Structure 1
Amino acid sequence: MARTPSTSAGPAISLAKVRERAPALVSLYKSAEASLERHGMSGERAAVYLVLDWSGSMRRYYRDGSMQAFADRVLGLSAHLDDDGRVPVVFFSTDIDAVDEIGLDDHHGRVGAIVDGLGHMGRTNYHVAMDAVIDHYLDSGAAAPALVVFQTDGGPLSRHAAERYLCKAARLPLFWQFVGFGSERGHQFDFLRRLDELAVPAARPVDNAGFFAAGRDPRALPDAELYDRIVAEFPHWLAAARAAGIVR
């Protein structure tokens, strides 16, 4: 996991290393690189987390390969930001279902292998997943900020708890990029839009969250567009968090 907040001249893991360790991810790696360049993020370092919804309504996305494809895309992005080649993954529903990893050396079929060992698919509680990420980040000793890619297909059971955790987490070097699987017009994402727009500084010291909907078939969203939407708000948060002393 990234342990230094300083920028360097190039990606955390080279293209040559990605070709050697995960050749199937080369095109994703290149697409992520172009997106980071467009958003002035070349050379930045950050820990990357992936949070995946294991609630009952998510069943079809696991069955059709959408979740593995999404994890691969996040891993391709992480290779530019974090030099350990691994992404911590939190599976959540009513409670935490698993905390595991996906890496360059073992990404193929990894999501399926993890969920094969999980119990029944529950309901949706964002705050339990947020708590798990916060604990993992603090325990890791990472000095670099973190980009948390948080996937879900609907709102949480406890909206109050989710909002409270997001506001408390705004004092930590964590940026939460929520990604909705489903139609952008769907009312199931009304709460996420609200989280995205919480007042600064009345509710939180900096804007520490973003949201976008990836559509009913997330695999159809072009890689370049997905990466642009994942990283678009991160540099703005990074500047604000540095100015506020949240990120050194």
Structure 2
Amino acid sequence: MDLSRELTIDNFNGFVNKLIKSHPLEGSTYYGKAMKMIRQHYFGSASKRNKPLSNDVPIYVMFVTDGATFDEQETIHHIQSSSFEPLFWQIMEIGKSNKGTKKRGFLRAFQSDFSFLEELDNLSGRYIDNADFFSAEDPQSISDNELYDLLMQEYPEWVKAATAKGLI
């Protein structure tokens, strides 16, 4: 499978299974590694960026996770640096968000902690807001229309801001 190809309507059938076979999953979660690969693929570099990079086509990345990352600083680096690129990160947590709730004692071990992801949406040090986050405890219970609305919650405003700032 040519992994340099993007997922399209013509190649979606079996795409993820082929990708997993080519790149076996690790036992830990590292958002920064995936973000680095995406930035290198589209822009040839994943280094620190502090000047706008323009492109005719915006890039929308659907980032799905069910675990907290082990590389928070690298993730922050990529979110901040990619804010100067025509790249938008839509992050979807599979699991129950505990935003605003605290579990105590023994139950805390079974609590998903996605507070880091929730904070990325308000991360400082960015050229423009280039990330959105939502959680889905049971993705199958979300209607197509509701999912579309969640996926497009901040993206249209990002497109306007990216256009105004010369990224697209």
CA contact (8 A) 2:55 2:167 kept: no
CA contact (8 A) 1:153 1:188 kept: no
Mark the CA change 1:103 to 1:205 in structure 2 (over 3 Å): closer, same or farther. closer
CA distance in 2, matches of 1:118, 1:99: 13
CA distance in 1, matches of 2:27, 2:5: 18
Mark the CA change 1:221 to 1:243 in structure 2 (over 3 Å): closer, same or farther. same
Q: Which runs of 5+ in 1 are unaligned?
A: 1-97
Per-residue deviation at 1:120? 5.0
CA contact (8 A) 1:155 1:188 kept: yes
Q: Describe the superposition over 1:175-206 as per-residue Cα deviations: whole angstroms up to 9, x where unpaired.
A: 1110111112264210001111113xxx1121
CA distance in 2, matches of 1:142, 1:244: 12
Residue 63 of structure 2 is aligned to residue 158 of structure 1: no
Q: Describe the superposition over 1:130-153 as per-residue Cα deviations: whole angstroms up to 9, x where unpaired.
A: 1111111125x9621111111111
| Equivalent residue letter for 1:213 | S
| Equivalent residue letter for 2:148 | Y
**Alignment-derived partner of residue 107 in structure 1:** 12
CA contact (8 A) 2:55 2:86 kept: no
Mark the CA change 1:187 to 1:143 in structure 2 (over 3 Å): closer, same or farther. same
Q: Secondary structure at the match of 2:160?
A: helix
TM-score in terms of structure 2 length: 0.76
Q: Describe the superposition over 1:33-69 as per-residue Cα deviations: whole angstroms up to 9, x where unpaired.
A: xxxxxxxxxxxxxxxxxxxxxxxxxxxxxxxxxxxxx
TM-score in terms of structure 1 length: 0.53
- Percent identical pairs in the alignment equals 34
- Aligned ranges 1:91-240 → 2 under 5 Å: 101-139=6-44, 143-185=56-98, 187-199=112-124, 203-215=125-137, 217-240=138-161
Q: Which runs of 5+ in 2 are unaligned?
A: 45-53, 99-110
- Aligned ranges 1:22-61 → 2 under 5 Å: none
Q: Secondary structure at the match of 1:229?
A: helix
**Alignment-derived partner of residue 85 in structure 1:** none
Per-residue deviation at 1:126? 0.8
Mark the CA change 1:117 to 1:131 in structure 2 (over 3 Å): closer, same or farther. closer
**Alignment-derived partner of residue 69 in structure 1:** none
